[in-house]
Amino acid sequence: MPPESLRCKECKTTYALDARYVCERCFGPLEVAYAPRSQVDPAALRRRVQAGPHSLWRYTDFLPVQTPRGTLAAGWTPLLRADRLAEQLGLRELWIKNDAANPTHSFKDRVVSVALARARELGFGTIACASTGNLANAVAAHAAAAGLESYVFIPSNLEEQKVLATGVYGTNLVRVRGNYDDVNRLCTELSAEHEWAFVNINMRPYYAEGSKTLAFETIEQLGFEMPDRVVCPIASGSLFTKIARGFEEWLEVGLVKGRVPTFNGAQATGCSPVASAFAAGQDFCRPVKPDTIAKSLAIGNPADGPYALDLARRTGGAIDAVSDEEIREGIRLLAQTTGIFTETAGGVTVAVLSKLAQRGDIDPDERVVAYITGDGLKTLDCVRGTFEACEIEPTLASFEAASERVPAVA
């Protein structure tokens, strides 16, 4: 089922599979279109997938690359059953897809793997990106592994941990005085000036395909069954909509039975253009100026906002927003019930999951999957001051004296 063309999502005009992302006729976004899959034998396809490597390259049949490569194997992250968290929320079957377990500790390793492989096929020698943080880490690391030059553009107010964990790979790191939307605008201009593969601009159709692998893995790890509901964070809306596309593709080829799950999107109140449009019943997003601790989700003008709105509505889901304080509580709740320490984006997801459970939106018998997309070690500041430790002399007496003051678990 090789990729056939790039196709406009709006007017369906097709283009060759090169580095372009916007329709010349209507300015709609382009996506990868594949040859029809009606002829495939699902049993043979399933055997081929299962015989593949333990990385996203086991799904090459569904990706727009002919020669998968890359030594940093992204994907095949754990899907963990979270019974203690489920019990707290009054749910029966809850799973955590822990994508912090990727090489640079976020789901961005998936999208970068695919964009970079396609960029090399197209002959690019330099990789670049506009990043809210995690993409910077992934581009710098994967470019280093491939021996390619890279340019990484970030907003100057990014978390220190994300800046350090990018610079270490020896990339050309550029801090831009502005927010992500300013960085993205600058990079769009730069992509017209330089022969660079901007993974999330001129390579965006290929980049986006990488997120489908989260759906494929979820199905495989559930024993070739579907979840009933998924909860997933939204920045540009690419991840959210492409997970749905992954489920749809495997339903189409007969690798799994059932229906597309209910899709719940998660945003931070301080940057919630998609959640606001959902609440207002609109099918477009009004751009906002982000102000939230969830910096990896701080995109004020989300490219895939309209498609995310449509997906939530047609699957009977919703898009909700949570405050910075609820995000911190979500991080603690996940850590204290599952042992997984997630970054602020994961806090957004868990806080929205709690909100849905409290609101009674989730039937207790549903099988729910929550996507944890990044690692808590990258946003350490937001847990600072949320607990105490007592300090003692290295003697028994000192411990006994202090022990009634040892802080109890909150």
Ligand X SMILES: *Cc1c(COP(=O)(O)O)cnc(C)c1O
Residues lying near ligand X in the complex (CB under 6 A) are found at 106, 108, 134, 233-240, 296-297, 343, 345, 373-374
Q: How far apart are CA 263 and CA 53, in angstroms?
A: 29
The token pair that represents 134 in the structure block? 């995690």
d(CA 343, CA 380): 8
Residues forming a β-bridge with 3: 34
**Minimum CB separation from Zn ion for residue 286, in Å?**
23
Q: Is 22 in the site for Zn ion (CB under 5 A)?
A: no
Binding piece for Zn ion, criterion CB under 5 A, among 12-20, 31-39, 193-201, 262-270:
12-20
Residue pair 213/183 in contact by the 8 Å Cβ criterion: no
Q: Which does 203 bind (CB under 5 to 8 A by kind): ligand X, Zn ion, none?
A: none
Closest CA to 109 of 159, 62, 66, 145: 145
* DSSP 3-state of 79: strand
DSSP class of residue 22?
B
106 binds, among Zn ion, ligand X, none (CB under 5 to 8 A by kind): ligand X
Q: Name the binder of 8 from ligand X, Zn ion, none, CB < 5-8 A by kind.
A: Zn ion
Greatest distance between any 2 Cα atoms in the chain:
78
Q: Which residue has the tokens 């709609």?
A: 28
Closest distance to ligand X from the beta carbon of 233 (Å): 4
- Provide the CB-side half-sphere exposure for 149 (13 A, CA): 8
Q: How many other CB atoms sit within 10 Å of the CB of residue 218?
A: 24
Residue 14 within binding range of Zn ion, rule CB under 5 A = no
Task: Kindly give, in sequence order, each residue whose CB lies less than 8 Å from that of residue 212, ignoring residues fewer than 6 positions away.
Answer: 59, 62, 63, 242, 243, 245, 246, 249
Which C-beta is closer to Zn ion: that of 29 or that of 330? 29
Per DSSP, 54 falls in state: S
The closest alpha carbon to 110, from 66, 146, 63, belongs to 63
Query: Minimum distance between the CB of residue 364 and ligand X, rounded to whole angstroms?
Result: 27
Taking the least distance from each CB to Zn ion, the nearer of 10 and 366 is 10
- State in angstroms the smallest separation of the CB of 12 from Zn ion: 7
Query: Which 25-54 positions form the footprint of Zn ion (CB under 5 A)?
Result: 25-26, 28
Nearest distance, CB of residue 323 and ligand X, angstroms: 18
- With CB cut-offs between 5 and 8 Å by kind, which of ligand X, Zn ion, none does residue 279 bind? none
How far is Cα 97 from Cα 77, in angstroms, rounded to an integer? 7
Nearest to 233 by CA among 282, 290, 297: 297
Rounded to a whole number of angstroms, the minimum distance from the CB of residue 307 to Zn ion is 14
Smallest distance, ligand X to C-beta of residue 296, A: 4
- Partner whose footprint covers residue 238, from Zn ion, ligand X, none (CB < 5 to 8 Å by kind): ligand X
> Considering only residues 11, 279, 280, 401, which one is a binding residue for Zn ion as defined by CB under 5 A?
11
Q: Is the dihedral of CA 37, 370, 85, 73 positive or negative?
A: positive
Question: Which one of Zn ion, ligand X, none interacts with residue 28, CB within 5 to 8 A by kind?
Answer: Zn ion
Q: Which of 19, 23, 226, 319 binds Zn ion (CB under 5 A)?
A: 23
Binding partner selected for residue 373 from ligand X, Zn ion, none, CB under the kind-specific 5 to 8 Å limit: ligand X
Least Å distance, CB 342 to ligand X, is 8
**Which residues of the chain form contacts with Zn ion (CB under 5 A)?**
8, 10-11, 13, 23, 25-26, 28
